[in-house]
Amino acid sequence: MLGALRKFRRTMDTAEVINIGREALLIAAMTAAPVLLTALMVGLIIGVLQAATSIQEMTLSFIPKLFAMTVALAIFGEWQLTLLVDYFRRMFEKIQYLFLS
């Protein structure tokens, strides 16, 4: 069985591998961006408020960040999941094309 697969298997060239890696990094950045940017903005706002009021409690920013990240995940979660499912569907189609063509 493996011999038959090796006989008909198409090899990937360097451009395809680089394209898959680039697309994976782009998808990872797009998926993580909404939650990370929300945490960044809330952390920045809390930091400015802490500096203005001279309150230097490290745990003060944790709960607002956690809440904001949860809200961002609730808002953007469906889009993130759709993005990941579409990406993995394309990857599985590429795998099928590589081994069955």
What the block records as the tokens of 7 is 């006989």
Q: What is the pLDDT of residues 14-44, one digit of tens each?
A: 888 899 999 999 999 999 999 999 999 999 9
Considering only residues 87 and 96, tell me which one the structure prediction assigns the higher pLDDT: 87
Residue 64: is it exposed, middle or buried by C-beta count within 10 angstroms (0-12/13-18/19+)?
middle
In this predicted model, what pLDDT tens digit does every residue of 36-89 receive, in sequence order?
A: 999 999 999 999 998 898 887 878 888 999 999 999 999 999 999 999 999 999
Q: Reply yes or no on whether the pLDDT at 90 is more than 80.
A: yes
- Residue 86 phi/psi, 5-degree rounding, is -65, -40
pLDDT of residue 58: 78
